[in-house]
Amino acid sequence: MYKALRPWLFRLPPEIAHEAALRALRAYGAVRPAPATATGGPLAVQALGLPFTNPLGLAAGFDKNGRALRGLAALGFGFLEVGTVTPRAQPGNPRPRLFRLAEQRALINRLGFNNAGMESLAARLRAERPALPIGVNIGKNRDTPLDRAVDDYRLGFAALAPYADYLTVNLSSPNTPGLRALQEPEAARLLLGALHEDQAALRRRSGRYVPIAVKIAPDFTQETLAALLAVLAEGLCDAVIATNTTVSRPTLGHGPAAREPGGLSGAPLTTLSREIISRVFKALPDIPIIGVGGINNAEDAWQHLLAGASLLQLYTGLIYEGPGLVPAILAGLVERVHAGGQDNLGEALSAARRNLSSGSRPNTVKF
Ligand SMILES: Cc1cc2nc3c(=O)[nH]c(=O)nc-3n(C[C@H](O)[C@H](O)[C@H](O)COP(=O)(O)O)c2cc1C
């Protein structure tokens, strides 16, 4: 069905096609009954203190303002991440700012956090919230000076923690000038330390613990990644999301879109993301990793899990493969679990990781 539709969708400018897809998903969500939320199947995962029916989530940026959550939940995802939202609504960068590289199964975007603002998302989540874990990804407004960035993230935490199962601190969009500087050790410690205090205060006040995930870039040197991971090892976050889009340009051919500035996602990112996942896993074996970047099929998903991810997300794969990609990946993961003679994903991964490297370390996530 999507194969037949895709040529038509791809004749539209990418942002118009995306808007059409969101509207269709919203309409679908209104008529489609909520999906089963039973836990305990072969792909069930318990992580971040939350039960996931399966490990495959929707990555941030697809539904920034939470407009189509029911429809997206009905596609079979195990969780959804909305945002990035900023304290105040902002238009983002001038168009065009989203480009398809169809041959490479990739996108380049420089949207720049176009979003309706945190209060609008809070109102949406208050009004309609499907029964699966929802992560909320927060960022800073473009015109907030970098040395006041902490204020924006604290505002985001205060407004959205009441409606989020976990919050993601986005330090890694390449399209907000200076944002990635927040990944430098001192800045990261300051920001995450402040949010850690807000998290503790919320727990004291309401008894609710809202886990904090940190979303990192794929564009590090060995040293800069090690320095950030050393800060994260200080207990300032509950999960790492690896990775956001890349500003590098691994072999993209010579089409005009390949030269566009912005963040590259999709197939050319797969290996780079996996490399980062594996380095985070080695450095922080006790912190759950949400693996994202270039997942286009079940094998990509499986390899991200083997590299150390406990949960997964995708975005660009959905644009090229359509909504059928979600059940296809889930079926492929179930096959791999059973092929290894195991009953559930956790056991299958432990066995497969053991086989891969006798030095592989335990992860605190329970499946
Ligand atoms: C059009 C577009 C918009 C995105 N917007 C956001 C965003 O607002 N916040 C964020 O953390 N990541 C954003 N991302 C990054 C994705 O969440 C994901 O990390 C990245 O695309 C790699 O995954 P993929 O290869 O499956 O797309 C965006 C990606 C795309 C393609």
- How confident is the model over 32-46, as pLDDT tens digits? 766 665 667 999 999
Query: What confidence tens digit (pLDDT) does each residue in 145-194 have?
Result: 999 999 999 999 999 999 999 999 999 999 999 889 888 999 999 999 99
Q: Establish if 309 belongs to a structural domain.
A: yes
Report the nearest-CA residue for atom 2 of ligand 1: 61
Domains of the chain: total? 1
The residue annotated as part of the active site, out of 173, 273, 310, 360, is 173
Indicate if the pLDDT at residue 363 is higher than 60. Answer: no
Query: Quick one: pLDDT at residue 96?
Result: 96
Among 315, 325, 326, residue to substitute to test ligand 1 (most atoms within 8 Å of Cβ): 315
- The SS3 assignment for 248 reads coil
Q: Is the pLDDT of residue 2 over 80?
A: yes
Q: What is the mean pLDDT of residues 205-228?
A: 96
Confirm if 182 and 191 have CB atoms less than 8 A apart: yes
pLDDT of 362 over the 50 cut: no
Q: What is the pLDDT of residue 358?
A: 60
Ordered DSSP codes for 300-324:
HHHHHHHHT-SEEEESHHHHHH-TT
Q: Are 235 and 210 in contact (CB under 8 A)?
A: no
Query: Quick check: CB of 137 below 6 Å from ligand 1?
Result: yes
Q: Whose CA is nearest to atom 22 of ligand 1?
A: 293
Burial (Cβ within 10 Å: 0-12, 13-18, ≥19) of residue 314: buried
Residue 351 maps to a domain: yes
Check residues 355 and 110 and name the one with the higher pLDDT. 110
Binding site for substrate: residue ranges? Answer: 64, 109-113, 170, 175, 244-245
Q: Which ligand 1 atom is nearest residue 269's CA?
A: 25
Is the pLDDT at 360 greater than 50? The verdict is: no
Bond from prior residue into 144 cis (ω within 30 degrees of 0): no
What number does the ligand 1 atom closest to the CA of 139 have?
A: 9
Average pLDDT, the chain: 93
Q: Is residue 367 part of a domain?
A: no
Q: Which pLDDT score is estimated for 340?
A: 87
Any domain includes 365: no
pLDDT, average across residues 286-291: 97
Q: Which residue range(s) make up the domain with 213?
A: 2-356
Using alpha carbons, select from 302, 252, 253 the residue that is nearest to residue 274: 302
Active site residue 120: no
Contacts of 106 (CB under 8 A, 6+ apart): 100, 252, 264, 265, 266, 267, 268, 269, 316
SS3 letters for 155-182? Answer: HHHHHHHHHCCEEEEECCCCCCCCHHHH
pLDDT at 365 over 80: no
Enter the tokens of residue 65: 């303002």
CA 155 to chain centroid: 21
Q: Is residue 366 part of a domain?
A: no
Q: What is the pLDDT of residue 39?
A: 63
pLDDT of residue 34: 67
pLDDT band at 287 (very low <50, low <70, confident <90, very high): very high
Among candidate residues 290, 258, 234, the one with its CA nearest the CA of residue 106:
258
- Determine the Cα–Cα distance for residues 4 and 282; give it in Å rounded to an integer: 43
Cβ of residue 86 lying under 6 Å from some atom of ligand 1: no
Instruction: Label residues 107-121 b or e (16+ Cβ within 10 Å = b).
Output: bbbbbbbbbbbbeeb
Inside any domain, residue 362: no
Q: Is the CB of 294 under 6 A from ligand 1?
A: yes
Ligand 1 atom closest to 244 (CA)? 19
Tell me if 68 is assigned to some domain: yes
pLDDT given for residue 366 in this prediction: 47
- Asked if pLDDT for residue 320 goes beyond 80, the answer is yes
Ligand 1 atom closest to Cα of 294? 25
How many angstroms is it from 173 CA to the middle of ligand 1?
8
If one compares 218 and 5, the residue with the highest pLDDT of the two is 218
Minimum CA distance residue for ligand 1 atom 7: 61
> Is the beta carbon of 295 within 6 A of some atom in ligand 1?
yes
> Which runs of consecutive H residues, i.e. helices, occur in the chain?
2-9, 14-31, 69-74, 118-127, 149-160, 185-206, 222-232, 270-283, 298-307, 316-321, 325-339, 345-356
Instruction: Decide if 102 contacts 57 (C-beta within 8 A).
Output: no
Domain presence at residue 361? no
CB of 300 within 8 A of CB of 294? yes
Tokens for 101?
A: 């590289």
C-alpha span between 146 and 142 (Å, rounded):
9
In this structure, the residue with its CA closest to atom 29 of ligand 1 is: 61
**Distance between CA atoms of 303 and 272, rounded to whole angstroms?**
12
pLDDT at 356 over 90: no
Per-residue pLDDT reduced to its tens digit, 235-266: 999 999 999 999 999 877 677 788 899 999 99
Confidence class for position 364, pLDDT limits 50, 70, 90: very low
pLDDT score of 16 more than 80:
yes
For a mutational test of ligand 1's pocket, the pick from 245, 260, 318, i.e. the residue with the most ligand atoms closer than 8 A to its C-beta, is 245
CATH code, domain with 245 = 3.20.20.70
Q: Is 293 in the pocket of ligand 1 (CB under 6 A)?
A: yes
